[in-house]
Chain A
Amino acid sequence: DTGVSQNPRHKITKRGQNVTFRCDPISEHNRLYWYRQTLGQGPEFLTYFQNEAQLEKSRLLSDRFSAERPKGSFSTLEIQRTEQGDSAMYLCASSLTGIVNNEQFFGPGTRLTVL
């Protein structure tokens, strides 16, 4: 257990529905990242927050995706009008500014299945 938690762990939804995932980083970590991992592939970067500011968004993050980190603590990732291609594991990671190795600690992930 790295100290990063994600909820829910599993989500099954029908195409066209909206879903929201939550990530709680390690409490003192100011940086938070979202990645997506499809079966048999490595994780792909989606977006990054430093405190409450969203500083980078991948081209993978279409207009149907939105992420927030309102108070610089937990973050949410919402997918609107889900498509079957959104089925994946969504991973959250956090890190702390000023640490030499900038290591990211990953949560257990939320596995999304879109039927």
Chain B
Amino acid sequence: ELKVEQNPLFLSMQEGKNYTIYCNYSTTSDRLYWYRQDPGKSLESLFVLLSNGAVKQEGRLMASLDTKARLSTLHITAAVHDLSATYFCAVERLIQGAQKLVFGQGTRLTINP
């Protein structure tokens, strides 16, 4: 059974600092997704990582994927308050040709002025 673990689960940081969220998964998968969720809202897609060594960047966020280590990271550079949210990684498991996403528990990020 595919399991996805994120750490830390809670992260409080100051504006301007850098930090990394880690996502480990238990079985082979070549696709990993990062989503952002604001309180009471749905999921907003951030990154789709399709292959080993993939790196994507958008603004202050950068995501990478190491399929051999079964690890993805989401790096936050010079954090700003607007990035406060819960971040989920999700790993794809193929079922009859389509993907079922298995999500991590989420990392609740709070950025303080």
Contacts and interface: CB of A to CB of B under 8 A. Distances in A.
B41 interface: yes
Contacts of A45: 100-102
Contacts of B41: 108-109
Interface string A79-112: 0000000000001000101001111111111010
Interface residues of A, number: 28
Interface string A47-75: 01010000110000000000000000000
A74 to B, nearest CB: 17
Given A43-B103, A102-B92, A103-B48, A91 B98 contact: no
B100 to A, nearest CB: 5
B105 A105 contact: no
Interface residues of B, number: 26
Interface string A25-38: 00000010101000
A4 to B, nearest CB: 8
B25 interface: no
B31 interface: yes
A41 B105 contact: yes
Given A42-B88, A101-B48, A106 B98 contact: no
Interface of A: 2, 31, 33, 35, 40-45, 48, 50, 55-56, 91, 95, 97, 100-109, 111
